[in-house]
């Protein structure tokens, strides 16, 4: 297996790692696969809290993704670990609260890796809203945001690391 340092590594982070960050992981993986670049990336997701460790993605998130041809199968919730800040080139938070939590958890030398995911998309709000307590429309909105941001992120990372 290729060493992770030989790949562009991206970690998507929300609070519990069952809705937004697995949706981002699955969607970005899908976009990368469509571009034929899977071997160039390490893609993962995690949560800032350990509420759902070991659980699969929320069934509503999985169903919404599946309707768009995106699989969240095989993604199990985990908590961000200290090694993640060293291992990943980009640690992308879904919202400001999780961004602050990540900055608090990371040593100062890793703070420049921690960003809001939607910073890559001009003209959007800076946060992916949490759909957990809402209806199916919230999961569709998350997918709309994440799909667009994933395409822009891929182009950004391609130009920075692969060209």
Active site residues: 14, 20, 130
The dihedrals phi and psi of 36, each to the nearest 5 degrees, come to 70, 30
- DSSP letter string over 71-124? --TT-B--B--HHHHHH-SEEEESSHHHHHHHHHHS-GGGGGGEEEGGGGSTTS
Nearest partner of 96 among 64, 136, 57, 129, judged by Cα: 129
Task: Report how far residue 25's alpha carbon sits from residue 41's, in angstroms, rounded to the nearest whole number.
Answer: 12
Cα separation of the two ends of the chain = 23
Tokens for 150, please give them.
Answer: 């994933």
Distance CA 15, CA 110 (A): 19
Rg of the chain on CA atoms, in Å: 14
């Amino acid at each position: 297996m290729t060493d992770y340092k030989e790949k562009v590594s991206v970690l998507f982070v929300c609070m519990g790692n069952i809705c937004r960050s697995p949706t981002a992981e699955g969607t970005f993986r899908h976009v990368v696969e469509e571009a034929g670049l899977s071997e160039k990336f390490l893609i993962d997701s995690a949560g800032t809290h350990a509420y759902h460790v070991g659980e699969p993605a929320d069934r509503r998130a999985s169903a919404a993704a599946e309707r768009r041809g995106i699989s969240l199968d095989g993604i199990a919730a985990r908590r961000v670990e200290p090694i993640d800040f060293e291992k990943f080139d980009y640690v992308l938070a879904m919202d400001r609260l999780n961004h602050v939590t990540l900055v608090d958890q990371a040593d100062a030398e890793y703070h420049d890796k921690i960003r809001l995911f939607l910073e890559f998309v001009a003209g959007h709000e800076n946060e992916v809203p949490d759909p957990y307590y809402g209806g199916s429309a919230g999961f569709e909105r998350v997918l709309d945001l994440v799909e667009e941001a994933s395409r822009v992120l891929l182009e950004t990372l391609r130009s920075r690391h692969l060209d």
